[in-house]
Structure 1
Amino acid sequence: MDDDGVDKPLRKISAAFKELSVAVSSDGDGDVDVEVAPFSRACSLVSPLFGCLGIAFKFAEMDYVAKVDDLSEASKSIVTLQALLNHDVEENSVKRAGSHSRNLLRVKRGLDMVRVLFEQILVSDGNSLRDPASKAYAEVFAPYHGWAIRKAVAAGMYALPTKAQLLKKLNEDEASAKTYMEDYVVTSAPLIKYVDKLFLSRELGIDW
């Protein structure tokens, strides 16, 4: 809760990702260790956003929450994201269903979807979220989903809240929401690239 006793998820997300982005950008070579615990904490703050988007993103909310919970559990025994990936490489379990590495890749996609959604909301006029949400889904999730899920999501887009309804759920006005959305777009980008780099530098790929 914030000082006025009202839950304001966007503010919490903005603050958490600013902290993480400082860690990522503090090393010019990008050879930096991001800790699993603060990463999973920041990711958990994003979870309510999927819930606010309604039935179209129900699949994403359930999947994302479960995988963030797994990373949070992993943080009790694994300190950094690099160590987490190295552990799975050694165990030959990176691409195994339920592995921490696989879950990290799925969580990263959730962060990326929200980044694209916010980008699209910031440049769109009007009160409808259908176009921003459709573009975010098409760019980040659709390539990995079968026909049935894509069809269900397309149908769910008609039940999205309006932008005004979303801001009301998030307890923000247009001006404050714009600030925090811009913050997230800027601070999440280097973190998303960092996670991609962890996989790509080990020649594991990111499209699976």
Structure 2
Amino acid sequence: MAESGSDKTLHQIAYAFKDLANTLSNSNSAELDVAPFSRACSFISPLFGFLGFAFKFAEKDYVAKVNDLAEASKSIQTLNSLIDHDVQANSVRNAGSHTRNLLRVRRGLDMVRVLFQQMIVTEGNSLRDPASKAYEQTLAPYHGWAIRKAVSAGMYVIPTQEQLMNKLNDDVASAKVQMQIYVSASEAVIQYIDKLFVSRNLGIDW
């Protein structure tokens, strides 16, 4: 279970995803339930808002998709069965389908993973380079010119690392520990999601 005694955003993110990764490591046939997955993803939502204008669009889109998965968890237990439900209904690629929303959430998780990786290894107080690299690697390939331009403009007013830590109620040393936990745990979760898509010949680039 996730550790208690702290309501810090990064702590919640790190240990929620560590719990998910532990579930997957317990068995080769382990499955992720939609409810704890969507709950873990919801802890990331404030982070997009804290990053300012550059990720405002991402925050709105991500939150909507996570909310959809949370609603789906009331009637669908696992991510595996969630995708199967859409496959059977021939609605996988339909706008608003649970599977399509899962893929969008997966990209958000990956963006945060790369952002944290870059923040851990980048010296200085600026977040522009880490955030730019994270966006370019994970989200930019799926966005049109207008969104990419808006994000680029937003990078010039992105908070500094110090400002972000203040919003997160954390300090750099503690934050980097939590970030590394998320980086490691989220890799396992993202790989699991990718396998669900690839095993059904759905791909992940749409």
The TM-score by the shorter chain falls in which range? over 0.9
**Structure 2 counterpart of 1:205:** 203
- Matched to 1:106, the amino acid is R
Cα deviation 1:119-167 (Å, max 9, x = unaligned): 0000000000000000000000000000110000000001100001101
- Structure 1 residue runs without a partner (length 5+): none
Measure, in 2, the Cα distance between the counterparts of 1:54 and 1:40. Answer: 23
**Structure 1 counterpart of 2:59:** 61
How many Å apart are 1:3 and its aligned residue?
4.6
Cα deviation 1:65-87 (Å, max 9, x = unaligned): 00000000000000000000000
- Percent same amino acid at aligned positions? 66
Asked if residue 186 in structure 1 is aligned to residue 173 in structure 2, the reply is no
Measure, in 2, the Cα distance between the counterparts of 1:145 and 1:161. Answer: 23
**Structure 2 counterpart of 1:100:** 98
**Structure 1 counterpart of 2:112:** 114
Measure, in 2, the Cα distance between the counterparts of 1:139 and 1:163. Answer: 20
How many Å apart are 1:32 and its aligned residue?
2.0
Measure, in 2, the Cα distance between the counterparts of 1:144 and 1:46. Answer: 20
Cα deviation 1:40-61 (Å, max 9, x = unaligned): 0000000010000000000100
Measure, in 2, the Cα distance between the counterparts of 1:107 and 1:96. Answer: 16
**Structure 1 counterpart of 2:142:** 144
- Matched to 1:195, the amino acid is I
- Structure 2 residue runs without a partner (length 5+): none
**Structure 1 counterpart of 2:21:** 21
Count of matched residue pairs: 203
Please provide the CA RMSD for this pair: 1.0
* TM-score, scaled relative to structure 2: 0.96
**Structure 1 counterpart of 2:160:** 162
- Matched to 2:13, the amino acid is I
* TM-score, scaled relative to structure 1: 0.96
How many Å apart are 1:33 and its aligned residue?
1.3
**Structure 2 counterpart of 1:33:** 31
- Matched to 2:23, the amino acid is A
* Cα distance change of structure 1 residues 19 and 3 upon mapping to structure 2, 3 Å threshold: closer
SS in 2 for 1:127: coil
Question: Greater CA deviation, 60-69 or 16-25?
Answer: 16-25
**Structure 2 counterpart of 1:72:** 70
SS in 2 for 1:205: coil
Measure, in 2, the Cα distance between the counterparts of 1:87 and 1:117. Answer: 33
